[in-house]
Each structure stands twice: as C-alpha cells, then as structure tokens.
Amino acid sequence: MCTEPGSAADVLTAAPRPAPGAAVDPIALEPVDEVRITTLVDNSFDALLTGDERVTRPGTGAARVDAPQFENGTTTVGLVAEHGFAALVTVRRGERETTLLFDTGLSPTAMVTNADRLGVDLSGVQGVVLSHGHFDHAGGLAGLAGRRGTRALPMVVHPLVWTRRRLRIPGRDDAELPTLSKRALTGEGFEVIERREPSLLVDGCVLITGEVDRTTEFERGMPPAHQAWSGSEWRHDPLVKDDQALVVHVRGRGLVVLTGCGHAGVVNIVRHAQRLTGVGRLHALLGGLHLSGPAFEPVIAPTVAAMTELGPELVVSGHCTGWRAQHALAAALPDAWVPSSSGSGYRLTGLGTTA
C-alpha cells in the first residue's frame, strides 16, 4: 500500500495501463433511454444545495415531524446522513422501468427514513445489489426487510461478501467488523445470488461487474490494518475482491458507473467496464471512491489525472472519497463535478430520448 507521497516521475510511471485486447467474454450491454439515481444515504446532507437540469435536491423541508417546542407542534426536517452509502437506480427502456437498490447504508433506519421523507416506496424495488460486504453498505437490509412485502427479493452479491474482516490499527484495540449472515438474509426472504463473474440484469441493460481487473500501478487497495479471516488466521486483505460496481449504457451518451466504495480503484473499475462492454465513453461516475486518509492521498493525483482524461460529463463523488480528493476533482473537472448529498437525484437521458 502506498504510504509516502509520490514524485512527479512516480505519478508518470503509475499512469493507467488499459488491459490489452478485447475482453475474453464481452458483454452486450443494451442501451437505456434514461437512468435515474437517487442517493438515499451518503456521508453528508446539505439542505442549501441547488439543483439544475441533471440534479434535484430535497431542500430543508423534506418532511415534518412532531416538535412540541414550536408553536404549531411540528418542525421541518431534512435527511439522515451517516458513514454509509445507498442508491436507488431506475432504468427506462421505452415505456418499461425497473428499479434496483444499490447498497443500503450503515444503520437499519437511515435508508428507510430517508425514503419515507422523499416519498420513495421501497416496496417497488425489484432487486438489490451489494457493492461489497462492508457493514456501512449493508446495514439497511434490516430496515428493507420490513418494506418489501412477502415476495422474495433477488440480491446479487460476490461470494466473498460473507468474509470476516477486522481493523488492526496500531495503538488501538482490534475491531472486528460486522459480518453479513447469509442464513439471516435468506430467512428474511432475500434470494441470494452469488456471482464472481459479470452479471446482466434487467433484460440485459444493467451490468454488475463482478470482480474487477486491477490494471493500474497506483490503485493498490487497503492498508495493512485491513485484515480478513482466512479460516485459520487473520491476514492483510488489500484487494477486497468482493468489490463490484453497477454499470448502465445511456443511449448515445456512454457509460454510467455507480460505485459503493471503489475498493478496486475507480480507474480500474471504469476501464474494466469499458473493456467488458466495448463502450469507450464514460458519461457519468457516481459513488464512493475511497481516497480519504493519509494512506490514499498519494493516489489522488493520478486518479484525478486519469479521470480528467476520461472526461465524464457528471462526477458525483461521495461517501468515502474524502475532502482532499473532492477538492482536487472539483478543481480539475469544474463542469462535471457536483457535491453529493443524501436525497439528491440525478437524471441522465439518452440522445434523442423524450421524457
């Protein structure tokens, strides 16, 4: 893991290296007319953010709650922010729409609370995708279980999503992370689908990447403090192999890539999606990029350089991206970057598509 800042020569040496040749198993990702992504949970909520033709913001008055200290006994509230991520993804082809849930946040209540305040009916969700097994992306499954009704709900995960993990930080007590229980999820009626390989959902128009090829020199994963249980001992777990992303091809625009934490490295993820689909243009990137903290700061400069070269029209970097990387992305991509916030919605339409 990188722990020291790199020189300019180091950055040049670590420039992204696309994997040579076409994908062994190319994916025929069907284009969609529209994709709408609502961030149900993120690390921040800013009620003063304004929207535009691509972005909607809930504002300060998302809902009213009881508050006896006010004259009329109520007050307006915004949305819950926590160290976690959850997004609602709706894709449209022609007149047909399908809605998926990508991650569920940290706590059992934040996602469902925000959905209620936004007027989102989670019972209409037709499937769940987990980006990886870390608890800040799966905690809201408990709240979702009570909202889906009696029907089974498909859930796409990587087989390593059940891995036991811990943080062993010098000077602190070892902290084992909450581990997902397959037995508990199936008992709640989730239909768990384990896939290492890429998966096509929604009649071939939503791609789940599966394991991501690691082709850059600089995206080396988690530091030594992040460990996994091998069955006999704790070992450094730098790669978080269960990390996967959701990809949609917006007609005539290019790929929309949604990440949870981006543990595989956002440049690796985008290039993997491009190679799998044969679509070279990145239209939008949303989600966590895991560039926060001293261990990841050396990765910021080459990541921003690669993203500038890719030239997306929209970048919504949230969750674990970190403030230094946010500032760098905002400076390098001022027309594309917009701040993330719980409750924000993003609407991306294909060329020639009517609303």
CA distance 256 to 316: 11
Q: Please provide residue 268's backbone torsions phi and psi, each rounded to the nearest 5 degrees.
A: -55, -45
Task: Give the residue extent of every domain in the chain.
Answer: 9-20+27-349
Residue-wise pLDDT tens digits, 322-331: 999 999 999 9
pLDDT at 6: 47
For tokens 């508050």, the residue is 67
**What is the DSSP secondary-structure string of 110-178?**
HHHHHHHHHT--GGG---EE-S-S-GGGTTTHHHHHTTSTTS-EEEEE-GGGG--EEE--TTS--EEPP
Residue 334 corresponds to which tokens in the numbers above? 């001022």
Residue-wise pLDDT tens digits, 115-167: 999 999 998 899 999 999 999 999 999 999 877 664 689 999 999 999 999 99
CA distance 145 to 148: 6
Q: Is the pLDDT of residue 114 over 70?
A: yes
Domain boundaries 9-20+27-349, corresponding CATH code? 3.60.15.10
CA distance 303 to 286: 15
Q: Work out the pLDDT band at 62, boundaries 50, 70, 90.
A: confident
According to DSSP, the residues that pair with 107 across neighbouring strands are: none
CA distance 180 to 170: 26
Least confident of 121-125, 304-308, 338-342: 121-125
Q: Report the largest interatomic distance among the alpha carbons of the chain, rounded to a whole angstrom.
A: 68
pLDDT at 16: 54
Q: Work out the pLDDT band at 5, boundaries 50, 70, 90.
A: very low
Residue 147 corresponds to which tokens in the numbers above? 């909202």
Residue-wise pLDDT tens digits, 213-253: 999 999 999 999 999 999 999 999 999 999 999 999 999 99
